[in-house]
């Protein structure tokens, strides 16, 4: 009887440990969204924070193909670079964990398209766009302020 009680208590401890391990895995999981350049929309799936970038690209390519999306991209992970959605980011190292990046939105570019010239043009274009948006927002706020002053003064 004593042996049976010990086995039951050991089994309960083991189950509790396994349950705690499963909970730890869930804490490290998050949803990523990957846009392929030239594709209609993003691919979304759940990853572990310690999954390698190359594994995430592989999963994204398989999910892309399974969905029957066009254009056909193939399955060669080495032909793709993964970037964080932040315009100032460089391509992610394929051997680093995806959780090391703070972002959850990424875009994938075929390496033949992603030359250094293209990356520089993208960065310059995004900076110009940000400057233009800030300038337009300033003008809109000035316009709203001037209209509100005119309305109140009447």
Q: What is the mean pLDDT of residues 133-154?
A: 60
SS3 26: helix
* C-alpha span between 24 and 66 (Å, rounded): 30
**How high is the pLDDT of residue 114?**
47
* C-alpha span between 15 and 8 (Å, rounded): 10
Q: What is the mean pLDDT of residues 81-90?
A: 82
**How high is the pLDDT of residue 53?**
94
Q: What is the mean pLDDT of residues 97-103?
A: 86
Query: Fold for domain 2-114?
Result: Ubiquitin-like (UB roll) (3.10.20)
109 close to 80: Cβ distance less than 8 angstroms = yes
Q: Which residue has the higher pLDDT, 129 or 29?
A: 29
Q: Please provide the DSSP assignment of 87-103 as one string.
A: TTPPBPPTTSBGGGSS-
Taking 90 as the threshold, does the pLDDT of residue 51 lie above it? Answer: yes
**How high is the pLDDT of residue 37?**
86
In percent, how much of the chain has pLDDT > 90? 27
**How high is the pLDDT of residue 91?**
87
How distant, in Å, are the alpha carbons of 27, 40, 45 from that of 70? 34, 8, 19
Q: Which residue has the higher pLDDT, 10 or 37?
A: 37
Q: What is the mean pLDDT of residues 30-34?
A: 94
Q: What is the mean pLDDT of the chain?
A: 76
Model confidence pLDDT, tens digit, residues 110-140? 876 545 556 566 566 556 665 655 666 666 6
Q: Looking up tokens 């999981």, which residue turns up?
A: 29
Q: What is the mean pLDDT of residues 35-60?
A: 92
């Amino acid at each position: 009887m004593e042996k049976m009680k010990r086995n039951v208590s050991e089994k309960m401890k083991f189950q509790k440990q396994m349950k705690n391990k499963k909970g730890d895995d869930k804490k490290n999981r998050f949803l990523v969204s990957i846009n392929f350049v030239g594709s209609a929309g993003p691919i979304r799936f759940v990853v572990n924070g310690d999954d390698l970038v190359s594994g995430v690209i592989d999963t994204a390519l398989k999910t892309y193909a399974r969905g029957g999306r066009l254009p056909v991209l193939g399955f060669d992970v080495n032909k793709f670079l993964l970037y964080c959605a932040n315009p100032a980011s460089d391509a992610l190292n394929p051997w680093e964990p995806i959780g090391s990046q703070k972002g959850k939105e990424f875009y994938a570019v075929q390496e033949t398209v992603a030359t250094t010239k293209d990356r520089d043009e993208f960065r310059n274009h995004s900076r110009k766009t940000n400057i233009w948006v800030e300038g337009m927002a300033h003008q809109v706020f000035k316009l709203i302020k001037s209209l509100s002053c005119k309305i109140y003064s009447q």
